[in-house]
Amino acid sequence: MAPFFSVVVPVYKVEEFLRPCVDSILAQSFADFELILVDDGSPDGCGALCDGYAAADRRVRVIHQANAGLARARKAGLDAARADYVGFVDSDDWVDPDWLAIVRKALEAGNWPDMVLFDHRRDTDLPPVPIHLQPGYYDKARLEREVYPYMLWDARQRPFGSQLLPAYIPLRIARRQLLLDHYVSDEVHLPLFEDMAMAYECLYYAGSLWFCPERLYTYRVRETSLLHAYRPDFYREIQMCFRYIRSRLGGKDAALDRQINGAYLRKVLVGMTADARKWGSGAAAHTAAALKETGIVQELSFGGLPWDMKLFLLLLKCRMIRLATLAVKTRS
């Protein structure tokens, strides 16, 4: 008999953090789930730890594979999942004991929606990324009215706009078939932000959603994590992500196209802010080289942008990178 939930944890170089993560999942008050640990060729002791959990608890299954990156590790777990509803947990984070129980109640209350979204916290003094949704049930009409116009980029949030809700995959539990249909395809390799590419596509095609305001998931903030470490190929990775998003969601709706464009520029400005912190006085030269190499600026348009972001984009298109870098530092 298939379990009610499948929980997928991609594992790579997290030996010191893996036990708190897995223990928090196995301690769930709702016990009808399977846990799929995907050892993505981890060079430390993670593989042995995973096998130890599988030997001790019949709910645990382990997939060992050559290192293929986070997106493909998650996809391997998704392919192996047996439940109708699937959730993801990153291997250095942890979940509350009633995580699955609360989601189970939300699914029943919402007449089995395609997706459940819940809130989160961080293990530092940093505030969580805000979720600008009212709790409860969203049918397709309400999604189209209250969520889709702002889901990727909400120009009302300043500076630079923001998402209505974060793209993090772990903040959602969704129907397996929805995930299979709209997860990043195997032939596409996105080294970063594959959660953004997948999460918003799934939400766009979901027939219904339930939002739980409870903070059920805790992010461990690490300087060496994919999300927080400085990445020299950031602009190329952002470009790959938004080209993929445009290939999947572009052209469906003018408002959605404006969101994609605004979110794309916002991520470029985030990259410029990171450059300024990393390179100091050399930030403008580093940014200019990266923008020239990728040609990102030519993929961005002025349509739908607020005046300050139009100004930033004008500076970039005129190759006034030093002035744009100074303005980003001032606004951030």
**CATH number, residue 170:** 3.90.550.10
CB-count burial class (<10 Å; 0-12, 13-18, 19+) for 48: exposed
**309 in any annotated domain:** yes
Cα angle value 18/24/28 (rounded, 5°) = 145
pLDDT at 231 over 50: yes
191 and 238 in a single domain? The answer is no
Place 215 in a pLDDT band, splitting at 50, 70 and 90: very high
pLDDT at 181 over 90: yes
166 and 22 in a single domain? The answer is yes
**229 in any annotated domain:** no
Residue 205 is part of which domain span? 5-219
Average pLDDT, the chain: 90
**144 in any annotated domain:** yes
82 and 183 in a single domain? The answer is yes
Give me the pLDDT at residue 70, please. Answer: 87
**318 in any annotated domain:** yes
174 and 207 in a single domain? The answer is yes
**225 in any annotated domain:** no
Spatial separation of the C-alpha atoms in residues 278 and 270, rounded to whole Å? 12
**226 in any annotated domain:** no
Which of 219, 251, 277 delimits the end of a domain?
219
155 and 277 in a single domain? The answer is no
Instruction: Count up the domains in the chain and report the number.
Output: 2
Assigned token pair, 89 = 């947990």
**Average pLDDT of span 222-229:** 53
98 and 159 in a single domain? The answer is yes
Give me the pLDDT at residue 226, please. Answer: 44
**228 in any annotated domain:** no
**Average pLDDT of span 179-206:** 82
Question: pLDDT tens digit string along 292-311?
Answer: 999 999 999 999 899 989 99
189 and 307 in a single domain? The answer is no
Which of 219, 242, 276 delimits the end of a domain?
219
pLDDT at 227 over 60: no
**Average pLDDT of span 149-175:** 85
**227 in any annotated domain:** no
CA 320, 322, 325, 331 dihedral sign is negative
pLDDT at 224 over 60: no
CA distances from residue 159 to 38, 156, 305 in whole angstroms, order as listed: 38, 9, 12
Give me the pLDDT at residue 196, please. Answer: 84
206 and 251 in a single domain? The answer is no
User: What percentage of the chain exceeds 90 in pLDDT?
Assistant: 66
Place 84 in a pLDDT band, splitting at 50, 70 and 90: very high
Over the range 145-182, which residues count as b (16 or more CB within 10 Å of their CB) and which as e? eebbebbbbbbeeeebbbbbbbbbbbbbbbbbebbeeb
Q: What is the CA radius of gyration of the chain?
A: 20
175 and 314 in a single domain? The answer is no
pLDDT at 228 over 70: no
Give me the pLDDT at residue 168, please. Answer: 85
Give me the pLDDT at residue 45, please. Answer: 96
Between 13-27, 192-206, 298-312, the lowest mean confidence (pLDDT) is in: 192-206
**Average pLDDT of span 32-50:** 97
31 and 91 in a single domain? The answer is yes
* Cα of 16 vs its chain's centroid, Å: 23
159 and 261 in a single domain? The answer is no
Between 48-52, 265-269, 272-276, the lowest mean confidence (pLDDT) is in: 272-276
Spatial separation of the C-alpha atoms in residues 40 and 204, rounded to whole Å? 29
185 and 257 in a single domain? The answer is no
Give me the pLDDT at residue 154, please. Answer: 85
Phi, psi of 125 (to 5 degrees): -80, -5
Which of 159, 188, 219 delimits the end of a domain?
219
Question: pLDDT tens digit string along 249-259?
Answer: 999 989 999 99
**Average pLDDT of span 133-146:** 96
Give me the pLDDT at residue 332, please. Answer: 59
Place 229 in a pLDDT band, splitting at 50, 70 and 90: low
CA distances from residue 76 to 157, 185, 193, 299 in whole angstroms, order as listed: 36, 12, 17, 32
